[in-house]
Structures are given as structure tokens and as C-alpha cells.
Structure 1
Amino acid sequence: MNLTELKVFLDEKVVEYNQPKFVESDPIQIPYQFEQKEDIEIAAFLTATIAWGNRKMINNNAKRMMNLLGNSPYDFVMQHTEEDLESLHSFVHRTFNGIDFVFFIKALKNIYEHHGGLEAVFANSKAANLQHTISEFKNVFFSIPHPERTRKHVSDPKKGSAAKRINMFLRWMVRNDTKGVDFGIWKSLSPSQLSCPLDVHSGNVARKLGLLKRKQNDGKALLELDTALRKLDPNDPVKYDFALFGLGVFEKF
């Protein structure tokens, strides 16, 4: 397939998968329970944080997270007492446990009280992509006393990570194409700055299509994939996440 044929093929797959029905089985369904901006972005951030492994388990555990927050994530973050935090200690998703969950709530409170909220920490980056901004976000997130074990749950592109989960969270918040999947509630960033959430599925499909040569799904591979997808659509390269994911997960391409 030459570049023109590849673009036509992938554009068709984007249309096929970038549909409201995509939400039904995807973790993005969790923030769709909410209407207030802060509730949506906190629910999205926490859901994205545990988005690895079996999708059904991710969805169930993200729902459990919201239940533990009284299904009012922003209120819980801002108003919680030490006693309220006790109930979070029972939470476990793979290696993310109650200790991590409690710290995440404290870190989010710090971000909303002292840094203008989640969007403000990422906002106004003029960079072509947001990988440096993600590293800066990690510094802010862990700028208060924290358990060392929890650092691994926020990826750092400066250390070579593809930061799949944060890139997915940013896609949810920034992309706005009125198709009923991504929220597009952050207006301070452009979809052109987004990077594809690179995981096993999207990586394997990208290699089969010749969009990616690097074997590891790391930061260098992300840059290579970014470059290839920007040739297909410089304004909205991450729409192709729907195509790569759909081909990998639903079609076993």
C-alpha cells in the first residue's frame, strides 16, 4: 500500500470505529457518567491510570473507583477527610493499590488548589507534541510528599516511556470531532499536538502497515509513529488510534 492508499484505508477504519457504540465497551464510558468538567477529567484521569490489562476488568474497577468516591470525584477530591481516605485502602487493580489511590486523591487536590486544575498543568504548551509536558506534569503531580512506589503509575517520556495511558487521557480531553466518543472539553491544547496511545494492539497493527519499524513500544517508537501519522493528517493525527485499535482488537488484523 502506498501512502495515499494507506490513508484511504485508515480513514475508512476511523469512520467505522469512531462511533458512539465504541464507548459501550471502552473505559471512556466511565467519565461519560458525569456532566461537570472537573468530574469528567478526574474520572477520565483515574480510569486512564488503571487502563491496562483486560478491558472488562478495567471498566469494573474504574466503576468501583467512582463508587468509592461517592460518584462525585471532584467533591471527594476537594472535600475529603482522612477518614474518607480510609475506605480507599481496599482498592486494587493489578499493581495499583489503595496506597496509590489515596496519594492520587491528595495529588489531585493539590493540583486543583495550587495549580489551577488538571487542564491548567498541561495547558498552553506550544510544543509540537506533549511528551515534554507530560514529564512536567509528573513533576507537579509528585511535588508533595508521596510513597515512592506510586511514582511508577505516572509514566515519564523523559525516561523513554510511550506514556500510553496519559496520551489516551489527553486524547479523550482534547479531541473534539462531534462523533460522540472523545470529549474535547480542553480548549487550551490542539489535537495536532496529541500522540497516539501506543500499546500492544496499536503497535502490532502499525508495524504490519509499515507505519512503525521499531520493535519496542517505547518513547522512540511513539515518535516514529507520531511522525508517520502526522503525514496522514497533521491536524488530527490521533484519530488513527481508532483505526489501529479497531483493527487490532476487533479484527485481529
Structure 2
Amino acid sequence: MKLKKAELKDFLDSKVVEYNNPQFIESDPIQIPHLFSKKEDIEIIGFLTATIAWGNRKSIIINAKRMVTLLDNSPYEFIMQHQEQDLKKLLPFVHRTFNGSDFIQFVTSLKHIYNYHDGLEAVFAKYAEANSLQNSIHQFKKHFFEITHLERSKKHVSDPLKNSAAKRINMFLRWMVRNDNTGVDFGIWKSLSPAQLSCPLDVHSGNVARKLGLLKRKQNDGKALAELDKNLRKLDATDPVKYDFALFGLGVFEGF
């Protein structure tokens, strides 16, 4: 499907309007952070939900709700005030290859991020570049695992500088940074701008992007993400990642 740039923009803009609305939340993992109103709760449970966001969406949502329950429905308070014995109840948790030991590691690492790096937003903002947060993700991962950690848990935080598309963490950043008043993304991180975001690239968005001529590279990796980013910025430099809704919606809901 080869559309001229103006036609492609019109088509995708119409799909953004179609999918970027509160009804999208009902079937999407973003519903989990929407259970909260406090900034720290939203960003912590948002990060944990995004971390397990692969595979079947229903099971992602079920397991993310289980995470909320295990954190006593107060993610920030649990992260900051837990005692060693409180962590034992997290051990039975499992989602795909993310298990209870990983969950405990993430709780411990998050506490470290808030205690020593002024929280999640501060880390990403500190290393942000003018139109990219990929170095921020790389630096965040370094800080996240600079404490004693399980080697196995490191695979659950992607590193774009190792050519990963880092789909889940880019999705999390979209949730935190974008705010277009539609009630889907939160826009609670004011120190960053939507212009710096990258599209969460997965099987669905990748396939649709290729069919629309926005992506030539076959693999969904870091190089593909750079190519897609460049092309989405030509359509809207200030908010390129709004097109995630169009690409994802076309792929998942319309089998485009």
C-alpha cells in the first residue's frame, strides 16, 4: 500500500483519533496505572506493567493486577517501606520468564532509584537527548542494576545501545510523557517532551509500518526503530509516537 506523504499522514491521523481515546484503555495494559492517582504509584506500577507486557494481553492485565495486590495496592509505599520478610510473598509470582525472584529484584532496584537517583523521571531526564531517550534507557539500566543483583533479571530491561528496539520501555515512556488530553497517556513527566519519544516497535506495529512504507528493515531491532522514528518524525516532529495508536490499532484490531 503506497500512499503519498500527505495521504499517509491523513490516513494515520484519522486512525490516531479512532484509537487514541478512553475506550482503548479497556483492553490495554495501560488500564493498570490508571487505577492510581499519585505520580509515584502511576510510574512504578506503569513500569512494572510495561516490564511484563509481552504475550497475551489478557494474561498481561491479569498478572499486572496480581502485582498490584502483592504490593498491597500501594506500589510506592511498598517499594519504599518494605522489610526483608515482606518480599517473600512475591516469590510465587510468574509471568512468562519473569518470576518472583525478578519481581523482588525490581522492587529492590526501584527503591534504590528513588533513594539515590531522585526517582524514575529524574534518571530518564538526566540523560535525555534532544530527540531521543534511547541513551536514557541505556543509562537507566546501568543505574537499575548497579546494586547487588540477579544476573537473570537484567534481560527484563532492554538496552537500545545493544540494538534492542526496547519496545516495552518505550511504551512505558509514552505513557509517562505524552499528554494530548484524550485520557489515555498520562503526561505526568513534565521534564521530558513527546518529541523525544520512540515508537514501541513490536510485531504488529512493525508489520503495519512495513506495509505502509514507513519501515524497510526486516527485523524489529534498534536499527528498525531508528528508521521508523525518522519516518514518523517527518509526519509529526512534535508528537511522533501518537502514530503508535494507529499502527497498533491497524495491526491488532483490523488485521491490516
Q: TM-score, normalised by structure 2?
A: 0.98
| Aligned partners of 2:129 and 2:135 also within 8 Å | no
Which of 130, 151, 156 does residue 154 from structure 2 map onto? Answer: 151
Q: Counterpart of 1:57 in structure 2: which amino acid? A: S
Two-structure CA RMSD over aligned residues (Å): 0.5
Matches within 5 A, 1:39-118: 39-118=41-120
Question: Displacement of 1:96 after TM fit?
Answer: 0.1
Matched with 1:224 is 227
Matched with 2:8 is 6
Question: Displacement of 1:44 after TM fit?
Answer: 0.2
Question: Displacement of 1:126 after TM fit?
Answer: 3.2
Question: Displacement of 1:130 after TM fit?
Answer: 0.7
Matches within 5 A, 1:4-43: 4-43=6-45
* Residue 207 in structure 1 maps to residue 187 in structure 2: no
- Following superposition, which runs of at least 4 residues in structure 1 exceed 4 angstroms of deviation? none
Q: Secondary structure at the match of 1:90?
A: coil
Partners of 2:129 and 2:162 in 1: CA distance: 21
5+ residue gaps, structure 2:
none
* Residue 249 in structure 1 maps to residue 252 in structure 2: yes
* Residue 176 in structure 1 maps to residue 203 in structure 2: no
Q: Counterpart of 1:18 in structure 2: which amino acid? A: N
Partners of 1:36 and 1:193 in 2: CA distance: 24
Q: How many residues align?
A: 253
Question: Displacement of 1:127 after TM fit?
Answer: 3.2
Query: 1:75-96, CA deviations, whole angstroms, 9 ceiling, x for partnerless residues?
Result: 0000001111000000000000
Partners of 2:72 and 2:143 in 1: CA distance: 26
5+ residue gaps, structure 1:
none
Matched with 1:140 is 143
Partners of 2:247 and 2:176 in 1: CA distance: 20
Matched with 2:129 is 126
Partners of 2:163 and 2:244 in 1: CA distance: 20
Q: Secondary structure at the match of 2:91?
A: helix
Identity score, percent: 74
Matched with 1:191 is 194
Question: Displacement of 1:128 after TM fit?
Answer: 1.6
Q: Secondary structure at the match of 2:214?
A: coil
